[in-house]
Structure 1
Amino acid sequence: MRTRLLQALSLFSTGLLAGAFGYGAANLVPTFNAVPIDMRLDFHAALMKMNGITMQGTMAVSALSSLALAVSARGRARVLAGAAGLLTVSSFLITRFGNVPINGRIKQWAATAPPPDHAEVLRRWELFNDARTATAAIAFGLLILIALTGQRGLCRQEPKETT
């Protein structure tokens, strides 16, 4: 039962994470690129203030539940859940060491003015965003694969009682 709850939690949280990153990559980034730079910077800075807690929390729940599922499961499910957990940790690391420092610069630019090389910096932010979106989506796909293959190999089998 515990393994099934971990599976549900990891699938749900990783789906939220992949969905949020996917929405951002498919809709927010093109919108950022379509508006004047001052509008983008203001909106980006405000969005990152709101995203900080929710996205980090979602990444933490996703990583911890996937890794706990890997410990609880067996066989191929263990390997897939472990890989999903590591991919989610990768999403966090990409965010923390790639996107977050650039977000800090964007916040400063919104208060002052962007530097001459701002387009290159924003392009790097988008590359980091694409990478974390891919790692989250692949993690979600691996957890879906576990769910689709059913309970065979997911749980440790209890011996059947004979009467």
Structure 2
Amino acid sequence: MAVAGISSLALTLQTRGRERALAAAATLLVGTSFLVTRFGNVPINGQIKVWATTSAPADYAEILHRWDLFNRMRTSTALIAFILLVITAVAPLRGRRESGPASP
């Protein structure tokens, strides 16, 4: 996740205009995915590890539902960030192709 955050931030700093906005949005989404993982899923994973040696609490279904919501959120933010980065990376190539070959 650190590489995704650093590389999307680097792309934000290297681009201009629409591509910069897309890369910045991707950077924010990667950061959101990290925060949801760190403060949402990881603590619940710790609880679940305890269940392996003891027993699940009475409200285990609610805890698993909350974990699933966090997982869907972090997966969605990561996927959208990836799509934005692909669009950002492909946009300059598309622009060159549409403008045709350079004149000598």
Query: Does TM, normalized by the shorter one, top 0.5?
Result: yes
Partner of 1:85: 27
d(CA) in 2 for partners of 1:147, 1:85: 14
Q: What's 1:51 paired with?
A: none
1:117 counterpart residue number: 59
Over residues 35-93 of structure 1, what are the superposed CA-to-partner deviations in whole Å (9 max), with x where a residue is unaligned?
A: xxxxxxxxxxxxxxxxxxxxxxxx11001110111011111111111110110010000
Report the alpha carbon displacement of residue 105 of structure 1 after superposing the two structures with TM: 0.3
State the one-letter code of the partner of 1:127: L
Deviations 1:72-130 (A, max 9, x none): 11111111111101100100000011001100100111111100100110010000000
Task: Identify the match of residue 148 of structure 1 among 81, 90, 95.
Answer: 90
Segments ≥4 residues shifted beyond 3 Å:
none
Cα distance in 2 between the residues matched to 1:114 and 1:122? 11
For residue 146 of structure 1, report the CA deviation from its aligned partner. 1.3
Does 1:94 pair with 2:36? yes
**When the two structures are superposed, what TM-score results if normalisation uses the length of structure 1?**
0.56
Q: Say whether 1:104 aligns with 2:46.
A: yes
Q: 2:8 aligns with which of 66, 91, 97?
A: 66
Rounded Cα–Cα distance in structure 2 between residues aligned with 1:92 and 1:147: 22
What's 1:75 paired with?
17
Give, in whole Å, the separation in 1 of the partners of 2:17 and 2:11. Answer: 12
Distance in structure 1 (CA, Å) of the matches to 2:61 and 2:2: 31
Q: Distance in 2 between matches of 1:61 and 1:138?
A: 16
Residue 88 (structure 2) pairs with residue 126 (structure 1): no
* Inter-CA distance 97–60: structure 2 relative to 1 (3 Å threshold): same
Distance 2:64 2:91 in 1: 41
* C-alpha RMSD over aligned residues: 1.6
